[in-house]
Structure 1
Amino acid sequence: MEAEITLDVDGSRRTVTVDTRTTLLDALRDRLAVTAPKKGCDHGQCGACTVLLDGRRVNSCLIFAVAQDGAEVTTAAGLADGETLHPVQQAFLDQDAFQCGYCTPGQICSAVGMLAEAAAGQPSAVTAAGPPANAATTLDEDEIRERMSGNLCRCGAYANIVAAIRQVSTAGPDV
């Protein structure tokens, strides 16, 4: 069975017909030629397919495209403002936070999402007990590593990825 859906992908309204069993990742890559999210494990274990769905980070290989009809999807390619890179993208360049680059789009989208989660006061497994509700979380290395643990880098660029996220997190709340 097929269904027609409309997605706002990186600022462009796109309509596509998909099989109802098609994942968002496959709809983006195979039907809409949006190649920023990568297919790594196809099981939600590596994070290479991470996108922002209505502002929240998701593994696009785990959700059906038809359930996202009308949603806003932002990939790493859609974060820049024209020629001006998003602060997270710029920090990844500044800190040399990639090697082969395969995981980088997912890492960047996940970092943008986790920065928003931390700013909103959403706790993680390592968040200190007792912060006031909705108070921004301080992002030290342990906090960043925990929040980014769903994104794997086969090359092992973790130290530079953490440094890039620290660069942005210390720059201010308007990321």
Structure 2
Amino acid sequence: MSIGLMQWQFFVALLTGVLLLWGVTWAWRRAAMRREAERRIEAARVRSGHVPLEIPTVRGGINPSGDSVPDTLPEWFIQGKGEHAVVDETPRIRVRYLDAHDRKVECTLQVDHLDVQKKTITGHGELPGDIRRVPLHRITSARIADSGQRFNVDTWVDAVRVARRRRGQV
């Protein structure tokens, strides 16, 4: 019993296809693991106090009262004016979200309050009396209204949480 040439070619083509499929899935999984690791590292940086460039910031000091400077700050900061980039807790963003009836809604929202415990954003729109309360899990995408830059809501919430904890407003 000998294997014919056609059977041998079929076997080699099948083996090549299986190896190629295995290689593509391995590369895909490796890239997905790398992206997940980068996302986790960035989230840990935000939780430790790093403010990424895509989060809107304002200039200000650590203490709103300004009477005492914590001794954990570096000397160059204490000698300076004491201002640095602080997370903007009331940015103006363009939000796309699903409302209570699962309809897609898009609006420009001036954030008035972020409730971290209830996980909601309360803000007002362009029209007078247009006050909206948007649950964070219903937001599908967000952009900064002025620049159109993408706005990661989860990263912003983590940064606000860290900023409030540093100010003692847990």
Greater share of helix: 2
Greater share of strand: 2
TM-score, normalising length from structure 2?
0.25
TM-score, normalising length from structure 1?
0.25
